[in-house]
């Protein structure tokens, strides 16, 4: 085989149509070898090519006789001195950090570790077994793909509705998707899947991690898997297990691009959940798979007291060192690759606070954020932070820079507590419903900085949130110790499944209440995939290790589930159609343009606006009017944005309330959009000052209509006693008075 010097850039294996350039960074290595494998079952490389050329700490070569699909790995030589931060072991075949495709997945064996497992010296010992038969291998990728007229939908943030999904779980059991495509990238791009997303008015899918990941050794030993995928090894390669042809190295890349192209054509953006805060190699007792064997001291954030150990801000064993320019380059190159080559539209950064840690303190103006902001590609895509990690000072909700949005944990907790009957001060609830200006406005950000969610992959599903007081994670085989104990849930009177019709009626209403609240809140709504179907995980709030029916969505719906799906579609349509729910700016909370009417107003059940001393009291029942004719914003052509004025009433208590509707403008009345206590109730209208019977545990939504509009069905006689005698649980949350 011909061997040419090649170039130090770009890093990784690059096919140029003639041959392949290989480039590998290592600051502290003495030498490196490129190992070429003929097929995935090969126990040893067919050729070993010493990398004699080294430029700017990059080993490189060019092989004019190598084609796309070639499997390869590296052996890297250097000192094995853990106390100094070095863990080179040339007996281990290493995965290319810049690999664009996976040629062979890893198989767990003691040879995958750089030290002798069971040795008295632990990780200070040195293992001489060859990992070549078991190591993950990269594959040379051909980037050619016919994108046609594909382009990003570029949905504005304030018009974005995010649907969080797992590629496999979303379509694994979806009827209408061909069997061989279920649970794959291609499955997500199938007509049936896309139609479901469009019927939900989704504008962006947020995919749980699709970067190549490993199943943790301890999970494999338990017969479990790292299903969620938060255990990355390859930051450029899509996971082949989510491909319809996992043995073909090129299939995952091609399928992923096809999925993106299809979703874009439907007007749906693709956001990736990315995990740059740790790698699959774990702590000092973890395997030597890639970064650790290539240059441990450069890639990882090591303890300044003893470089044998790792700084761990994630609870996963290690943290990449963004202080090193090559590590920062790796992450930035990965992000740009997924935008420019794979054409994704944004990223959600797992435990993003860890990326801001240059030393120990969290610095919101760290190098990582500075580099993102000046990058002409990445500064233009959607950036979402999970604004916390497990290190000191790691809870950073509201503290990320301009240009970033955040998963708003404060929103999640406040809404959960409110609907569970717990005390939430009125001022805090109002702030969460109107974009959390107390968190974001002072830093120059807008309401859409708040990614509003009530449920996500991590925790209870919406159905379980109203069905369980306690987590039930026994299936994870950790004696129910894992997962959060602080869920702010309420089981509505029975733990888990029940035949009690009153409890089930209340649970269905509570799901409607919370979903309606999400759609009525300012900010960017995020829906957990499967919530619209009533998906249950049987009380397990940490299903990261289950690749089975517990996490695969069940599309065989009961009548009740179908009814809730219909409600979800109506609620998202209301959000889509009402400009006042998609504001770009925060409410002023005062009369606008001399109208005498505030753009947002809050009401007690008596129909009076909240007084100063009401704001610090717990909110149990209140109303909010959003003035659609006082939005004070313009569209993309400079035309004023005007919509309906909305009124929504929230009653988070076990007793009905006579709620006096606020007055309307002359010639207008209130039209009922929906009432979660009676999902089948037809539209009807009411005059201002009407005393509306707001049922226990319910949301009622109204919009203004002019007197000349066709009259909906007249309101029935107000039979309070009959309404109160209707089927409803006589239960209260255990913490309620």
Q: Which residues are catalytic?
A: 350, 386
Q: How far out from the chain centre does Cα 190 lie?
A: 22
CB 134 within 8 A of CB 107: yes
Residue partners of 413: CB distance under 8 A and separation at least 6: 488
What is the distance between the alpha carbons of residues 534 and 552, in angstroms, rounded to a whole number?
Answer: 12
Q: Give the DSSP H or E segment for 507.
A: helix 501-520
Q: Give the DSSP H or E segment for 86.
A: strand 86-87
What one-character DSSP code corresponds to residue 612? G
Residue partners of 274: CB distance under 8 A and separation at least 6: 209, 211, 235, 334, 335, 347, 348, 349, 350
| DSSP-derived 3-state class of residue 369 | helix
CB 97 within 8 A of CB 289: no
What one-character DSSP code corresponds to residue 669? E
What is the distance between the alpha carbons of residues 55 and 591, in angstroms, rounded to a whole number?
Answer: 66
Other Cβ atoms less than 10 A from the Cβ of 619: the count is 22
Torsion of CA 711, 715, 716, 722, to 10 degrees: 160
CB 425 within 8 A of CB 616: yes
Q: Give the DSSP H or E segment for 212.
A: strand 211-213
What is the distance between the alpha carbons of residues 569 and 575, in angstroms, rounded to a whole number?
Answer: 10
Structure tokens at 484: 């959060």
Report which of 542, 536, 414 is spatially closest to residue 471, judged by C-alpha positions. 542
Structure tokens at 119: 């040795």
What one-character DSSP code corresponds to residue 364? T
Q: Give the DSSP H or E segment for 262.
A: helix 251-265
Q: Across-strand partners of 450?
A: 406
Q: How far out from the chain centre does Cα 211 lie?
A: 14
Q: Is 144 exposed, middle or buried (CB count within 10 Å of its CB: 0-12, 13-18, 19+)?
A: exposed
What is the distance between the alpha carbons of residues 696 and 700, in angstroms, rounded to a whole number?
Answer: 11
CB 287 within 8 A of CB 107: no
∠ CA(223), CA(225), CA(230), 5° rounding? Answer: 155
Outline where 291-387 has alpha helix (H): 291-299, 325-340, 367-374
Q: Across-strand partners of 55?
A: 58
What is the distance between the alpha carbons of residues 471 and 538, in angstroms, rounded to a whole number?
Answer: 9
């Amino acid at each position: 085989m011909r061997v040419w010097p090649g170039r130090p850039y770009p890093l990784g294996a690059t096919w140029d149509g003639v041959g392949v350039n290989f480039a590998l960074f290592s600051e502290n290595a003495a030498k490196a070898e490129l190992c070429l494998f003929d097929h995935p079952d090969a126990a040893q490389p067919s050729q070993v090519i010493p990398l004699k050329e080294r430029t700017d700490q990059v080993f490189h070569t060019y092989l004019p006789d190598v084609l796309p699909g070639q499997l390869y790995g590296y052996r890297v030589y250097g000192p094995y001195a853990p106390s100094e931060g070095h863990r080179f072991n040339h007996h281990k075949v290493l995965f290319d950090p810049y690999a664009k495709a996976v040629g062979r997945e890893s198989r767990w064996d003691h040879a995958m570790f750089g030290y002798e497992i069971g040795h008295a010296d632990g990780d200070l010992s040195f293992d001489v077994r060859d990992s070549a038969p078991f190591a993950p291998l990269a594959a040379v990728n051909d980037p050619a793909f016919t994108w046609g007229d594909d382009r990003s939908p570029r949905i504005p943030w304030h018009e974005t509705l995010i649907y969080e999904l797992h590629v496999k779980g979303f379509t694994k059991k979806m009827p209408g998707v061909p069997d061989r495509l279920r649970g794959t990238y291609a499955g997500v791009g199938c007509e049936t899947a896309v139609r479901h997303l469009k019927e939900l008015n989704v504008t962006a899918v947020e995919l749980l991690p699709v970067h190549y990941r490993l199943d943790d050794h301890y999970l494999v030993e338990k017969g479990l898997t790292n299903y969620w995928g938060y255990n990355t090894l390859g930051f450029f390669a899509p996971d082949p297990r989510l491909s319809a042809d996992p043995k073909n190295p090129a299939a995952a890349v091609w399928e992923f691009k096809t999925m993106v192209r299809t979703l874009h054509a439907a007007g749906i953006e693709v956001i990736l959940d990315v995990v740059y805060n740790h790698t699959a190699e774990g702590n000092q007792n973890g395997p030597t798979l890639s970064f650790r064997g290539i240059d441990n001291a450069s890639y990882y954030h090591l303890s300044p007291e003893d470089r044998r150990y790792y700084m761990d801000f994630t609870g996963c064993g290690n943290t990449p060192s963004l202080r090193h320019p090559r590590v920062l380059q790796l992450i930035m190159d990965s992000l740009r690759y997924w935008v420019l080559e794979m054409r994704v539209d944004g990223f959600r950064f797992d435990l993003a606070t860890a990326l801001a840690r240059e030393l120990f303190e969290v610095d919101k103006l760290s190098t990582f954020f500075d580099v993102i902001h000046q990058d002409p590609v990445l500064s233009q895509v959607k950036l979402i932070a999970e604004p916390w990690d497990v290190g000191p000072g790691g809870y950073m909700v509201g503290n990320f820079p301009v240009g970033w949005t955040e998963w708003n944990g404060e929103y999640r907790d406040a809404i959960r507590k409110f609907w569970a009957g717990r005390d939430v001060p009125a001022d805090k609830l109002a702030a969460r419903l109107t974009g959390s200006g107390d968190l974001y406005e002072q830093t120059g950000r807008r309401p859409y900085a708040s990614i509003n969610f009530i449920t996500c992959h991590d925790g209870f599903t919406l159905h379980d949130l109203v069905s369980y007081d306690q987590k039930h994670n026994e299936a994870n085989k950790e004696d129910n110790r894992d997962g959060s104990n602080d869920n702010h849930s309420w089981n509505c009177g029975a733990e888990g499944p029940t035949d009690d019709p009153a409890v089930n009626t209340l649970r269905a209403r509570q799901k409607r209440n919370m979903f309606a609240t999400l759609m009525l809140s300012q900010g960017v709504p995020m829906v957990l995939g499967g919530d619209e179907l009533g998906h249950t995980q049987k009380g397990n709030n940490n299903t990261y290790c289950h690749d089975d029916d517990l996490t695969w969505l069940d599309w065989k719906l009961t009548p009740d589930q179908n009814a809730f799906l219909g409600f979800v579609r109506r609620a998202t349509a209301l959000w889509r159609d009402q400009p006042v729910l998609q504001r770009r700016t925060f409410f002023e909370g005062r009369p606008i343009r001399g109208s005498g009417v505030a753009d947002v107003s809050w009401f007690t059940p008596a129909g009076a606006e909240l007084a100063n001393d009401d704001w610090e009291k717990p909110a149990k029942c209140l109303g909010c009017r959003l003035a659609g004719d006082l939005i004070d914003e313009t569209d993309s052509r400079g035309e004023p944005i005007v919509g309906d004025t909305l009124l929504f009433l929230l009653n988070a208590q076990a007793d009905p309330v006579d709620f006096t509707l606020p007055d309307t403008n002359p010639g207008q009345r209130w039209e009922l959009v929906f009432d979660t206590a009676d999902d089948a109730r037809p539209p009807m209208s009411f005059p201002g000052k009407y005393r509306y019977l707001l049922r226990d545990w319910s949301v009622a939504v109204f919009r203004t209509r002019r007197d000349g509009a066709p009259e909906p069905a007249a309101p029935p006689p107000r039979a309070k006693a009959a309404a109160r005698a209707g089927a409803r649980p006589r239960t209260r949350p255990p913490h309620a008075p």
